[in-house]
Amino acid sequence: MLKKTLDISSSPHIVKGRSTEDIMRNVVWALLPVVFFSVYAFGLNALLVIFTATLASVLTEHLLCKLSKKETTVNDYSAIITGILLGLSLPPSFPLWMAFVGGVIGIALGKYIFGGLGYNVFNPALVARAVLQAAFPVAITTWYPAFLVDRFTTISKSVLTFPFMEPQYDAISGATPLAAFKFDGVSTSTMELAFGQVSGSAGETCAIIIALGGIYLIARNMMSWRIPAAVLLSAFILSGILYLFNSELYPSPSFMILSGGLMLGAVFMATDMVSSPITPLGLWVYGAIIGILTIVIRIWGGLSEGVMYSILLANAISPHIDSVIKNRVYGTKRKIKAA
C-alpha cells in the first residue's frame, strides 16, 4: 500500500525555478522598447551612446573576472543592464569615449569593488553617471534636439569627439522641460512629456513606454510594485501640495511625474533588488524617501533634476531601513507595551 508522507524542511522553499539570469534577461527585454524609442527619437547618436556604454560594461566585467581568476559573469545580464541604464541616462550627444569611461566606472567602482552581483551597495549605473556628471558637467548637461530630420543619416560631432578633446556641438537644444521650468518658468504640456516629444537624456523622454516595461516586470513578479508606487505617489503628493499652495511658482504633479528621469529611475533603477530594502514596509519607506528627495532637489536645489542623487542617498540608508523595520517572525506575538 502506497503511503503519503509530508516532507517538512527549513527555508528557503523554492516555488518556481527562476534564476538570476532569467530575471535579468527579462529586465533587458523590458528595457528594449525604451532603447528602441530612444533610437527613434534621437537616431544614430543615441544608438552609439547606449551601445558604447553597454559594451564598456560587459568588457570591464569580463576583464575583471579574468584578472581575478574567476569564471566570467557576463552571462547573468547584469552588466548589460548597467550599460543600458547608463546609456539611457546620458544625453544623446554625449561623447563616446566618456560613455565608455562611464561603463568602466559603473562596473569597476559601482559593482565589482563591493564583491560583484549581489553585494553592490549602490546602483552601478547611477554611480557611473554621478562620476561623469562631476567630471564632465558641460557635456552631460548639453542636450540634443529630438526628431531631427537627418537623425538616421548623420552623427553629431560631439559624439565622435577624440578622447580628452573638447566636444564640438553642431546642434544644441535650449533646455530640458525641467530646466526650462526651473530657470525660465516655461512649462511643457503633459502630452508632450507622456509621449516623449521633448529633449532630454536618451531614455528619459517617453514615460508611457517606461511604465509599460515596469508593468511587464510586475506582472511576471520580477519586480516589487511597492517601490515605483511609493516613489511616484510621494512625489505626486508633495508636488501636488506645493502646486495647490502656489500654482504659478510650482509645477503640476503630472509635470513632475512625467518629466526628467523620475519614471526611469522609479521603474528600473530604484527597484534594484540588491540596493533596496527587503521588507514590504521598508520598500514603501525607501520609495517615499526617493520621491520626496527628488521633489526637494528639483524645487529648492541648484540642479533641475534630482532623481540620481535621491536614489543614491536612499541606497546608502537602505541597510538601516532593514535594521529598523523587521518582519515579525511567523508564530510569534507582537510586543505589547506595559500600561
pLDDT tens per residue across span 56-100: 999 999 999 888 888 888 888 999 999 999 999 999 989 999 999
**What is the spatial distance between Cα 230 and Cα 266, in angstroms, rounded to a whole number?**
9
Q: What is the pLDDT of residues 305-321, one digit of tens each?
A: 889 999 999 999 998 88
Is residue 3 domain-resident?
no
Out of 83-92, 181-190, 201-210, pick the least confident: 181-190
Q: Quick check: is 65 in a domain?
A: yes
Residue 6 lies in a domain: no
Note whether 103 and 55 are within 8 A (CB): yes
Quickly count: other Cβ atoms within 10 Å of residue 212's Cβ. 14
Same domain, 286 and 198: yes
Rounded-to-integer distance, Cα 38 and Cα 74, Å: 24
Q: Which of the two residues, 234 and 157, has the higher pLDDT score?
A: 234
**What would the grid cell of residue 95 be?**
561623447
What is d(CA 147, CA 32) in angstroms, rounded to the nearest whole number? 19
Query: pTM for this structure?
Result: 0.88
How many angstroms separate the Cα of 41 from the Cα of each of 29, 89, 145, 258?
19, 14, 9, 17
The torsion of the CA quartet 81, 84, 87, 88, rounded to 10 degrees, works out to -100
Domain-ending residue, one of 146, 173, 200: 173
Asked if residue 331 has pLDDT above 90, the reply is no
Q: Residue 76 gets which letter from DSSP?
A: G
- Evaluate whether residue 117 is within a structural domain: yes
Same domain, 76 and 141: yes
Distance CA 51, CA 46 (A): 8
Which residue did the predictor score with more confidence, 119 or 125? Answer: 125
d(CA 261, CA 308): 8
Last residue of a domain, one of 155, 173, 191: 173
In terms of domains, do 161 and 187 share one? no
Whether the CB-CB separation of 21 and 77 falls below 8 Å is answered with yes
Q: Is the pLDDT of residue 11 over 50?
A: no
Please tell me what DSSP assigns to residue 242: H
**Structural domain for 310, as ranges:** 177-324
Beta carbons within 10 angstroms of residue 27's beta carbon: 23
Using CA atoms, how far apart are residues 105 and 84, in angstroms rounded to an integer? Answer: 14
163 and 185 inside one domain: no
Residue 238, amino acid: L
Calculate what percentage of the chain has a pLDDT beyond 70.
89
132 Cβ contact list (under 8 Å, min separation 6): 90, 98, 101, 102, 105, 140
Scanning the structure block, which residue is given the C-alpha cell 511587464?
A: 216
Residues 130 and 219 in one domain: no
Total domains, the chain: 2
Residue that terminates a domain, selected from 131, 153, 173: 173
Instruction: Provide the pLDDT for residue 200.
Output: 82
